[in-house]
Amino acid sequence: MATTTATRVHLVTRRDPTRPLRHAIGVVLAYAVLIAFALALILPFIFTVANSFKTTSDIVSNPQLLYPTQGFTLAGYEKILTSTQINIPRVVFNSFLFAILTMVGHLIFDSMAGYALARIGFPGRGLAFATLVGTMMVPPIVLLIPRFLILKQLNLVNTYGGLILPTIADAFGVFLMKQFFESIPADIEEAAAIDGASRFRMFFVVILPMAVPALTALAIFGFQGAWNNFTDPLISVGSEKSLFTLPLALAFLRGETGDVLQWDMLLSGSVLTTLPMAVIFFVFQRFFIEGVTYTGIKG
């Protein structure tokens, strides 16, 4: 028995020196894979930024180069800012108005619905939540025509109401807030009820201040989704240029002949559209990660 034990100890000792090396190789490979995926995702944006500083002919001739061969130029940005096709101040105003009101709507309605599903035991609560989650599995493209028909019957097509009202609440936000509210101990609400707090006061005074991290994540998701939203504005204000948002205005951008696309303008406008979201992501990326955590996706 002593000989067998000594042999095992000797074998373990012989294997120990290779473990740090194997661990280091595994870490390097993992980081290499992550870097490869990150580059695959960020390269299109890098090429967009690089080509936005080129002339149109240079973009067409050498789109794969990250430096201009015909000289560095800001002509694309000058064209997009002075374009007669796009009223940049109005389009930017519409985008911010759409994104901010959508974000505020999510904060109000998603949080209230999430709290009701998490804490109020009304009949059919399970069915309501299952139906809500089921709507998240429906492809958004399927809902475009029914949504347009509803907006048309309500006379909301080509109006700010038709642009904003359909997006002020969504299933994902309700799901996120429900998951967070369920993590708050019920004893806190019981103590507030003993002190005579009503359900609304309990929600707004006691629960919401504790939900600031989840509300922050919800606000970021709501603002980002509305800022980049193309399909909803397309069906609600697609024929009214004064109500265009940035993604919609860029999609309708054409050259002076009406057919030729001016790539320098399009890429410059894409950079201007993406830049605010890139800044928000890098500043608040911690809340994006927390938002995924609250949904229960993180294992």
Give tens-digit pLDDT for 222-273.
998 999 999 999 999 877 888 999 988 888 776 544 556 778 888 888 888 8
Average the pLDDT over each of 8-12, 57-61, 116-120, 274-278 and give the range with the smallest value. Answer: 8-12
Residue 224, token pair as written in the block: 């980002």
pLDDT for the residue 287:
66
Nearest to 225 by CA among 245, 250, 251: 245
| Confidence (pLDDT) at 2 | 47
CA dihedral 226, 115, 296, 135 (to 10 degrees): -60
For residues 253 and 257, what is the distance between their CA atoms, to the nearest angstrom? Answer: 11
What structural domains and CATH numbers belong to the chain?
A: 2-75 (no CATH), 81-294 (1.10.3720.10)
> What is the rounded average pLDDT of the residues 90-112?
93
Angle at which helix 125-135 crosses helix 171-181, to 10 degrees, equals 130
Overall pTM > 0.95: no
Tell me which residue of 213, 110, 93, 216 sits closest to 163, measured CA to CA. Answer: 93
Distance separating alpha carbons of residues 269 and 26, to the nearest angstrom:
42
Spatial distance between the Cα atoms of 2 and 5, rounded to a whole number of angstroms? 5
pLDDT 10s digits, 124-181:
888 999 998 888 888 888 888 899 999 999 999 999 999 999 999 999 999 989 988 9
Go through the chain and tell me how many residues it has: 299
Q: Which residues contact 40 (CB under 8 A, 6 or more apart)?
A: none
- Give the per-residue pLDDT at 272: 86
Residue-level pLDDT at 168: 92
Query: Among residues 164, 166, 170, which one has the least CA distance to residue 100?
Result: 164
4-19 mean pLDDT: 56
